[in-house]
Amino acid sequence: MKHSTLFGLKPQNLKGVKALFFLVVYLSPMTLQAQSPLYQISVNTAKGEAVSLSSYRGKVLIIVNVASKCGLTPQYDALQKLYSSYKDQGLVILGFPANQFLSQEPGSNDEIQQFCRLNYGVEFPVFAKIAVKGSQQHPLYTYLTKTQPKAYSEGGSGSLMKWLMKLKSGNSSDISWNFEKFLISRGGKIVERFAPAIKPDDPYLVKLLQQELKKP
């Protein structure tokens, strides 16, 4: 008695094909989601359009909360230089304006975009204003601060760090001030969190960035 075949495969081999199909179609997406919760979060552009962070899968990210009227605002310049130097290797910087630190980001989303372009020639994405702490905290920052509650601060300005710590209130994992930075691997994992006083061209930050960019 002859048995029917599929693509030339005998019935006894079809079980293996079905098992492989199940692994590829069902288990792979589940595994990716379990490994990369960051990619399940959506954010809004300055124009109000929703963007899933999964669109940055495979990129090395620096996520930073920004402000236009802060003593640290000149870090925009160093961030842009970092982006220009490494964007071709897979770096993307994501800026998130927040008006929660002495109201140093009072402008509208359009005004923030114009400020970044005219004053610092910013080319990396700067998104809509969000809350990075408190009861209205955006899910992105809930994930970031819970996953990496402590920021690296060695090498930053000692007096600035002491001042920031005095101002810091609430949970110890809260964003302390404008321009905290999170370095994210190509797979969506947090590599390190950097305190505001750690500049974008800090040797340790650049070293970790270069290491991540070399990884597939």
Q: Tell me how far apart the alpha carbons of residues 188 and 205 are, in angstroms, rounded to a whole number.
A: 17
At residue 108, the 3 state secondary structure works out as: coil
The encoded tokens of residue 65 equal 């909360």
**Which amino acid is present at 2?**
K
* Alpha-carbon gap, residue 58 to 41, rounded angstroms: 16
148: left (phi over 0), alpha (psi -120 to 50) or beta: beta
Query: How far is 189 from 134, CA to CA, in rounded Å?
Result: 24
Instruction: Show the tokens assigned to 188.
Output: 């969506």
116 part of the active site: no
Question: Of the listed 46, 53, 61, 70, which one is catalytic?
Answer: 70
Catalytic residues: 70
